[in-house]
């Protein structure tokens, strides 16, 4: 078992377990936020026919050659084409077709003039300028060619991507299955929601932020509930979760206290311990086990420590397991607007509020920063990444800040 490893080493070890968990076919109405498991190739061009981008008159530009205010061109309106209809026939020389936005253009037309730019009397329109072929025409396939790869396997299905799938007439798509992640809280002090608060006890809150984080990472959380600090009970919970789920996250009992039994329970469940303790504060007492390619990640019970360890270590692997291509959070350089007076013996991830002002990022620490304090975790939108051995942060000092995903921010 490795002990006291760097965050990079922990991430590297996790990468060995980063395979996706299969595919499924779903309706595109359910596909927003899912990850494509297939390339999407256009079966036909978009638009499927040349069309008018405005309400006006379709004509052949050559019929307006030399036209000006003094000698305007006159054309006969031979047909009207509404969006959804087909032209009655080709345009002959000297003819024009009234068209609405989205109407297919007739053969023989190479330009469209807007309704407001002509004058019409009866079936004759007059145009007082020479037009250029190609103006105001949306050619067939302008946006997408037939056979073009429009979306790649591994892409996020965004609102616009759903639109693209629908424009191509697709009703179903193949997406990666979401990894199923068990969340087990450990601790004799934990009460379920709904129980009356008793002396010495606290509510099992960790289950809920972690479940939300699992969802944000593309997984499905399965909250198992609270297990007392008993080695055999924790091992039994791990053992049954290993049979059901793709990954297991525990909180509590990962440190060095008399009732910190998750490490031993991992062994008792038949899993191998990969590492214990990671060089990061908060979150040092993380422990990791593995059985048959499935990871057990044991996080500190302290609510903010558990969340931060999840962000830095678990989120990247879970996103990869979910088929997502981007797993890294953006890191920006920010200027401290207030000092932070503590030294950082270990690498520290400091909850901070980062704002963009006057062309630069500025950071302030987000309140009470002990690993169990949650208010600062709610307030923060970034984690300042302070290297091990760094002294206090001065006002004006430049720091690296990891920006949290939008769904983490108020
Ligand atoms: P531990 O990691 O077991 O040493 O716990 C560290 C701190 O986190 C203690 O104050 C625990 O009471 C608290 N804690 C442990 N599990 C949870 C939980 N599920 N929800 C909220 N706080 C917890
Ligand atoms: Mg405990």
User: pLDDT for 60-97, tens place per residue?
Assistant: 999 999 999 999 999 999 999 999 999 999 999 999 99
| Position 249 in a domain | yes
C-alpha–C-alpha distance, residues 191 and 252, integer Å? 14
Whether residue 282 contacts residue 313, with contact meaning beta carbons closer than 8 Å, is answered with no
| Position 91 in a domain | yes
* Same-domain check for residues 7 and 86: no
* Same-domain check for residues 80 and 171: no
C-alpha–C-alpha distance, residues 396 and 32, integer Å? 42
Q: Is 188 in the pocket of ligand 1 (CB under 6 A)?
A: no
**Residue of minimum CA distance from atom 14 in ligand 1:** 301
Identify the pLDDT of residue 94: 97
CA of 387 to the centre of ligand 1 (A): 26
CA of 306 to the centre of ligand 1 (A): 9
C-alpha–C-alpha distance, residues 383 and 309, integer Å? 11
CA of 328 to the centre of ligand 1 (A): 28
pTM: 0.93
CATH of the domain at 33: 3.90.105.10
Burial of residue 88 (CB within 10 Å: 0-12, 13-18, 19+) is: exposed
Burial of residue 141 (CB within 10 Å: 0-12, 13-18, 19+) is: middle
Instruction: Compute the average pLDDT of residues 362-375.
Output: 96
Secondary structure letter of residue 205 according to DSSP? -
pLDDT tier at 326, thresholds 50, 70, 90: confident
Ligand 1 nearest atom to the CA of residue 186, by list position: 16
CA of 407 to the centre of ligand 1 (A): 24
Instruction: Compute the average pLDDT of residues 264-290.
Output: 98
Q: Is 405 in the pocket of ligand 1 (CB under 6 A)?
A: no
Q: Quickly count: other Cβ atoms within 10 Å of residue 135's Cβ.
A: 11
Q: How many domains does the chain have?
A: 4
* Same-domain check for residues 279 and 347: no
* Same-domain check for residues 91 and 200: no
pLDDT in tens, 86-138: 999 999 999 999 999 999 999 999 999 999 999 999 999 999 999 999 999 99
Tokens of 8: 């990079």
| Position 132 in a domain | no
* Same-domain check for residues 182 and 223: yes
Tokens of 378: 């709610």
* Same-domain check for residues 219 and 317: yes
pLDDT in tens, 199-227: 999 999 999 999 999 999 999 999 998 99
| Position 149 in a domain | no
* Same-domain check for residues 224 and 344: no
* Among candidate residues 176, 211, 233, the one where a domain is terminated: 176
Burial of residue 356 (CB within 10 Å: 0-12, 13-18, 19+) is: exposed
CATH of the domain at 383: 2.40.340.10
Secondary structure letter of residue 44 according to DSSP? S
CA of 379 to the centre of ligand 2 (A): 26
C-alpha–C-alpha distance, residues 111 and 77, integer Å? 15
From 195, 202, 203, 260, give the residue whose CB has the most ligand 1 atoms within 8 Å, as the site to mutate.
Answer: 202
Domain that includes residue 304, residue range = 2-22+177-321
What is the SS3 assignment for 258? coil
Q: Is 187 in the pocket of ligand 1 (CB under 6 A)?
A: yes
| Position 119 in a domain | yes
């Amino acid at each position: 078992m490795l002990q006291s490893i760097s965050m990079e080493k922990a991430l590297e070890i996790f990468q060995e377990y980063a395979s996706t968990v299969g595919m499924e076919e779903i309706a595109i109405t359910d596909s927003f936020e899912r990850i494509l498991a297939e390339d999407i190739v256009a079966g036909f061009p978009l638009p499927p026919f040349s069309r008018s981008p405005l309400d006006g008159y379709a004509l052949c530009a050559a019929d307006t050659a030399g036209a000006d205010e003094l000698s305007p061109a006159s054309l006969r309106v031979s047909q009207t084409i509404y969006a959804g209809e087909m032209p009655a026939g080709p345009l002959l020389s000297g003819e024009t077709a009234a068209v609405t936005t989205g109407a297919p253009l007739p053969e023989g037309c190479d330009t469209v003039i807007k309704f407001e730019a002509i004058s019409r009397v009866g079936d004759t329109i007059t145009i007082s300028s020479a037009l250029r072929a190609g103006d105001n025409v949306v050619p067939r396939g302008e946006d997408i060619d037939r056979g073009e790869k429009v979306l790649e396997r591994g892409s996020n299905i965004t609102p616009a991507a759903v639109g693209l799938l629908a424009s191509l007439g697709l009703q179903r798509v193949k997406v990666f299955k979401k990894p199923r992640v068990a969340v087990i809280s450990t601790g004799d002090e934990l009460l379920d929601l709904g129980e009356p608060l008793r002396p010495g006890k606290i509510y099992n809150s960790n289950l809920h932020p972690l479940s939300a984080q699992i969802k944000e990472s593309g997984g499905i959380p399965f909250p198992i509930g609270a297990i007392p600090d008993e080695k055999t009970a924790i091992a039994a919970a791990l053992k049954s979760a290993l049979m059901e789920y793709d990954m297991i996250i525990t909180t509590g009992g990962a440190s060095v206290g008399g009732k910190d039994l998750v490490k031993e329970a991992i062994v008792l469940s038949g899993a191998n311990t990969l590492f214990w303790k990671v060089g990061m504060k908060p979150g040092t007492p993380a422990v990791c086990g593995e059985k048959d390619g499935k990871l057990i990640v044991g996080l500190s019970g302290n609510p903010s420590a558990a969340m931060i360890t999840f962000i830095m270590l678990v989120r990247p692997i879970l996103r990869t397991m979910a088929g997502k291509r981007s797993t890294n959070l953006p890191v920006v350089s920010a200027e401290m607007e207030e000092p932070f007076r503590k030294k950082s013996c270990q690498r520290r991830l400091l909850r901070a509020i980062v704002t963009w002002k006057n062309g630069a990022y500025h950071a302030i620490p987000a309140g009470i920063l002990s690993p169990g304090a949650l208010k600062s975790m709610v307030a923060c939108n970034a984690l300042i990444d302070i290297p091990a051995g760094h002294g206090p942060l001065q006002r004006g000092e430049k720091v690296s800040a990891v920006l949290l995903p939008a769904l983490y921010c108020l």
